[in-house]
A and B are shown apart, each in its own frame.
Chain A
């Protein structure tokens, strides 16, 4: 049963990837929709970022002094100025580790 569910979940997931690329003709989308689609990265990724920072493993909000919030702010500043993905990730992780391991947050 679990195997069957995985295959169905896999087919569903594949369809989410394939539908707009292979089945929908781009001309069916009007100019306005195309202009709105420019915003897709900004409209999708915060839905991954915000909960991962502000909500803990138990599904409740973190405190305002949570080390993840601090790490994210550092990563945003470093990323903004360095334009470097590795620097962004590393700076966020290190500032987070400094808080939890050295300052025992």
Chain B
């Protein structure tokens, strides 16, 4: 049985490689906000209040492009709606927590944290304080994101744009799913999702980000039915 501290540390360790892409991306996000002409306090407040990478940039880009607040807010909601799926998966492991703890832990659920903690949970179902792993991944992400966006806001885009570090984001997610390429059913689900995202890329409010997972999960349910 691992202690709370061990689980928390394990969570930190498991997510830290992803900081290689999260930190440059955070710096870029902060810098873009200021370049678009927004109040630096406002740009930073988003990292605290929304705490959701790409959705923060989209929000500011939409507003500065003349979109209404309603459109910007709706887009953030839709982009982040994928967390509903993460929550549905994680709820299995967080069932026993008190309501207050569930409310608190929810704030730190992020893409990479969900992915790494979910992998850990699947392998260690019997551990008693599993949620400390999720707190470890989430808090590491939170601290790095705050520091990275803040540095981008204060120092500007000191990461040279020519390096194309935005490309590190898809690479991070490739690292997360690459081992599932061994399983043909997962490959089919991934390709379905990927192609759908390209097909629906121009759908309003960036809704491709939730439309394609829904299509892919539908395909997954068909696969499960065929397997039986």
> Chain A interface (Cβ within 8 Å of chain B)?
1-10, 12-14, 16-22, 24, 26, 29, 32-55, 59, 61, 68, 71-72, 75-76, 79-80, 83-86, 88-90, 92-93, 96-97, 100
In the bound complex, what is the Cα–Cα distance between A26 and B94 (angstroms)? 10
Instruction: Assess A16 versus B189: contact at CB under 8 Å? Given A46-B212, A51-B201.
Output: no
Which residues of chain B are within 8 angstroms of A6 by Cβ–Cβ distance? 42, 45-46, 49-50, 59
Asked if residues A41 and B177 are in contact (CB atoms below 8 Å), the reply is yes
Which residues of chain B are within 8 angstroms of A37 by Cβ–Cβ distance? 85, 88-89
Instruction: Assess A19 versus B87: contact at CB under 8 Å? Given A13-B77, A40-B217, A96-B164.
Output: yes
- Top 10 nearest A-B pairs (CB, nearest first) are A20-B87, A10-B49, A43-B216, A46-B194, A85-B17, A18-B106, A50-B194, A52-B170, A22-B102, A79-B178
The verdict on B1 contacting chain A, using a C-beta distance below 8 Å, is: no
Which residues of chain B are within 8 angstroms of A13 by Cβ–Cβ distance? 50-52, 55, 76-77, 80, 83
Which residues of chain B are within 8 angstroms of A97 by Cβ–Cβ distance? 163-164
Instruction: Assess A40 versus B42: contact at CB under 8 Å? Given A13-B50, A22-B103, A50-B194.
Output: no
Asked if residues A36 and B42 are in contact (CB atoms below 8 Å), the reply is no
Residue from A20, A71, A80 whose CB has the most chain B CB atoms within 10 Å: A20
Instruction: Assess A86 versus B88: contact at CB under 8 Å? Given A47-B212, A49-B170, A50-B195.
Output: no
- Least distance between B17 CB and chain A CB atoms (Å): 4
Asked if residues A1 and B69 are in contact (CB atoms below 8 Å), the reply is yes
Which residues of chain A are within 8 angstroms of B54 by Cβ–Cβ distance? 48
Q: Which of A9, A18, A68, A84 contacts B77 (CB 8 A)?
A: A9
In the bound complex, what is the Cα–Cα distance between A39 and B215 (angstroms)? 12
Asked if residues A46 and B191 are in contact (CB atoms below 8 Å), the reply is yes
Q: Which of A16, A35, A45 contacts B177 (CB 8 A)?
A: A45
Instruction: Assess A2 versus B197: contact at CB under 8 Å? Given A20-B91, A26-B92.
Output: no
Residue from B87, B185, B202 whose CB has the most chain A CB atoms within 10 Å: B87
In the bound complex, what is the Cα–Cα distance between A53 and B162 (angstroms)? 16
In the bound complex, what is the Cα–Cα distance between A90 and B163 (angstroms)? 13
Q: Which residue of B lies closest to A71 (CB)?
A: B167
Which residues of chain A are within 8 angstroms of B92 by Cβ–Cβ distance? 26, 34
Asked if residues B216 and A42 are in contact (CB atoms below 8 Å), the reply is yes
Q: Which residue of B lies closest to A26 (CB)?
A: B91
Asked if residues A21 and B180 are in contact (CB atoms below 8 Å), the reply is no
Asked if residues A52 and B167 are in contact (CB atoms below 8 Å), the reply is yes
Asked if residues A40 and B86 are in contact (CB atoms below 8 Å), the reply is yes
In the bound complex, what is the Cα–Cα distance between A59 and B103 (angstroms)? 37
The verdict on B90 contacting chain A, using a C-beta distance below 8 Å, is: yes
In the bound complex, what is the Cα–Cα distance between A52 and B143 (angstroms)? 25
Which residues of chain A are within 8 angstroms of B162 by Cβ–Cβ distance? 100
Which residues of chain A are within 8 angstroms of B55 by Cβ–Cβ distance? 9, 13
